Structure 1
Amino acid sequence: MKTQPLREDKHCLNCGTEVPERYCTHCGQENAVPHESFGHLVKHFVGDVLHYDSQFLQTISYLLFRPGRLTKEYMAGRRVAFVNPIKLYIFVSFVFFLTWAMLSHDSHEKNEKRSAEKEAAAKQHEEDESQKIPSITGILGAVKDSLKNNKELARAVDSLAYRYRYDSARSHNAVAPVAAGSHDTAAARHTAAKAEEDDDLRLTDSEDDPRNKYGNEEAYDSAQAAMPKAQRDGWLKRYFTHKWMRLNPGDDRLQENLSESLKHHFPKMMFVLLPLFALWLKLIYNWKRWYYTDHAIFALHVHCFAYTVLLLAYILEKLTGVDGFIGWSVWLIFGYLVLALRNTYHQSFMRSFGKSLLLLFGYGISFAFVGVFFILIIFAVIL
């Protein structure tokens, strides 16, 4: 694109080196007139976009439909026609995590709205039932008064009134108070005893909570100081116990904050796992034939394929409302990994299959360790 006229001065504006032709032999800058026309800017923009698009389309084509071929081409030095693996990973992972976060946020809002509607409906139903109980029990009471002379019928009506109150209370997970004048039945005594037993069980389960056991941080520190040194909690447990005791037990935002923090740190966690994935490849393949950078390029390409397939599956689930696309995409990623290993490292299908299982096992171990590390960081920041 040589539409800009050359400068009469043959010295580079950037480094001062003499420029015999159009481009500086020292820094590579074009020795053209610095004042560009609008048409020249547009041509540069179109040229850069089309050049990137041609690279990107060919890269995606090789990545999706030719397992391992993109890595082989890059290792062989044929790189001009393809996007750099690091740039490709940054672009694909950015689109993946951004789209996933947006779609999951919409689903979270819909679930919250649906939960609020259910709670409102349940509350309205409870109010309606509570209004029904006095009216019906009042009618039954009037009938009982009119049948005072017939004690058997009066007892039957009274038992019916209590049974109605008891069934209505059970539908709301609580036993309705027995109205004055009603008989103390065995069912009422059994229900009250069961409720007391459940309360005792909940208290027993909550005894492990340091907030219930010690009350405050000062009491906890005093109890720790009174113990023998060998029986005291370690520094890490003491640290998180202090954090936990400062937490408000009724704070409903804790789970939301933890979820948001995990979403925020998940891309970082996956980026940390990339070199570990390459390290496992280094362990299971020939150390002398393959360099660590070769394994790193393979890891970048496999992760880009996984992100692309998972994103498409997630979008399909959202559009169709049918579950299962993500499950099938996981099997597709595993099959792609086997073929990519076979085509890149030139081994048999069975060897590639076995090493795929070994690689996933090691990757799972790395994922667990890195996940625990990030979760500890998140708890240390939030609590």
Structure 2
Amino acid sequence: MSHSKIREDKTCLNCRHVVEQKFCPNCGQENTDSRKTFHHLFVHFFEDLTHYENAFWKTIKNLLFKPSTLTKEYLSGKRLSYLAPVRLYIFISFITFLLIAMFPSNINDEINKSEKQLDKEMAKANIKIDKGEDKKYFHLKTMKEIDSVQKYGKEEDKLNATSYWFTEKAIHVTEKNTKKEIYEKFVESFFHNLPKILFIIMPFFAFFLWLFHNKKRWYYFDHGIFTLHYFSFLLLIFLIMFVIDRLLGLFGENSPLSYVAAIINFVGTIWMCYYFYPAHHRFYGESRIVSFAKSVILFIINSLFILFLLSFYVLYTFINLH
């Protein structure tokens, strides 16, 4: 609840209705001074999210440890006791991506870890890599060589229109970027666009739920609320593991606390994978066997869809690097 001073003027600034008390009885706006300091705006943002009533911590507790409780409570009409689903998701995603931006992972470590795997994949595609100490460029055929094959080569050696377009884009990227630069640009682009990717995934996630359940009993809206809470849970678990990993990482990789971080990450990952089943079972009220079967099928379908979407995104990001 806001602690701002109440205006002496009893006319609502929003609807011009007479305000006898703190809030306008016509539109609900608080009758306080409209000019605020930055500090007030910042505090008011979190007040608005948590409304200083235990609703925030009550929501977080149920989200983490009581699968589907928030969804059932919200759809039953008990909405003031918890944060609204959209507000909850926006709040958690805001904090998550803010902290990721503030404490990014070491890109050089990530490059070293995945370099061998990338080399293996490039070898399969017959792409040679210059193993120089300072620079590692991908070496494809030049466009001049490819155009020569397209014009004078054998039919089986020529590229179709789609392959030619992709090859041209790949050559453009690899001629102007080292492997490290490609990694850096890709990781930066990925985390920058991850919120958009999640927003794209969620409607499809809810759609798959809609396909597998009684259309007369459940509306798409119900599946949407379930999806918002589920994705909020996934982001929250990721956020907790991220914060713990960064905090305990301050003590060094060889510290005993690194083992604590590893255990927490392991438990968190297991809970993330398992959470969907009890949430599904409790919310939709189906038998454990039916719910388990549907959970597995939905998990596979959504995993394949997410894999497809991420693969498309990787390809799109690669061909648009500069």
TM-score normalised by the chain length of structure 1: 0.61
CA distance, structure 2, for counterparts of residue 74 and residue 208 of structure 1: 55
Contact 2:50 2:83 in 1 (8 A): no
For 2:175 and 2:239, the matched residues in 1 are separated by 37
Contact 2:143 2:171 in 1 (8 A): yes
Contact 1:68 1:344 in 2 (8 A): yes
* 1:248 aligned residue (160, 166, 175): 175
Match among 303, 306, 317 for residue 231 of structure 2: 303
Residue 370, structure 1, aligned to residue 309, structure 2: yes
Distance 1:212 1:47 in 2: 55
- Secondary structure of 2:286's match? coil
TM superposition shift of 1:261: 2.1
Note the 1:138-287 alignment, pairs <5 A: 214=141, 216-226=142-152, 232-246=158-172, 247-248=174-175, 251=178, 252-287=180-215
- Higher helix fraction: Structure 1 or Structure 2? 1
Q: Which runs of 5+ in 2 are unaligned?
A: 114-122, 131-137, 249-256
Q: State the alpha-carbon separation in 1 of the partners of residues 88 and 8 from structure 2.
A: 36
Query: For 1:48-99, what per-residue CA distance to the aligned partner results, in whole angstroms no more than 9, with x for missing partners?
Result: 5872452211111221122111100101111011111111111112222333
1:314, 1:325 within 8 Å by CA — same for their partners in 2? no
1:222 to partner: Cα distance:
3.5
SS in 2 for 1:67: coil
Picking from 275, 289, 292, the partner of 2:220 is: 292
Identity among equivalent positions (%) equals: 31
The amino acid of 2:304's aligned partner reads I
Distance 1:296 1:250, change over 3 A: closer
Change (3 A) 1:229 1:76: farther
Give the conservation status (yes or no) of the 8 Å contact 2:5–2:33: no
**Pair 1:98–1:234, CA change in 2 (3 A):** farther
Give, in whole Å, the separation in 2 of the partners of 1:276 and 1:90. 18
8 A contact 1:92–1:307 mirrored in 2:
yes
For 1:89, the equivalent position in structure 2 comes to 89
Is the 2:72–2:283 Cα contact (8 Å) retained in structure 1? Answer: yes
SS class of match (2:83): coil
Q: Hey, what's the Cα distance between the residues in 1 that align with 2:206 and 2:75?
A: 15
What 5-or-longer segments of structure 1 have no aligned partner? 116-201
Aligned to 2:54: 54
One-letter amino acid matched to 2:57 = L
Distance across 2 between alignment mates of 1:243 and 1:235 = 13
* RMSD of equivalent CA atoms: 4.0
Q: How far does residue 296 in structure 1 lie from its aligned partner after superposition?
A: 1.1
Tell me which residue corresponds to 1:159: none
Contact 2:149 2:158 in 1 (8 A): no
Match of 1:99 in 2: 99
For residue 271 of structure 1, report the CA deviation from its aligned partner.
Answer: 2.3
Deviation, 1:361, is: 0.5
Are 2:8 and 1:71 aligned? no
> How far 1:267 moved relative to its partner?
2.9
Residues 208 and 61 of structure 1: is their aligned pair in 2 closer, same or farther, counting only changes over 3 Å? closer
Q: Partner of 2:192: helix, strand, or coil?
A: helix
CA change 1:88–1:2 in 2 (3 A) is closer
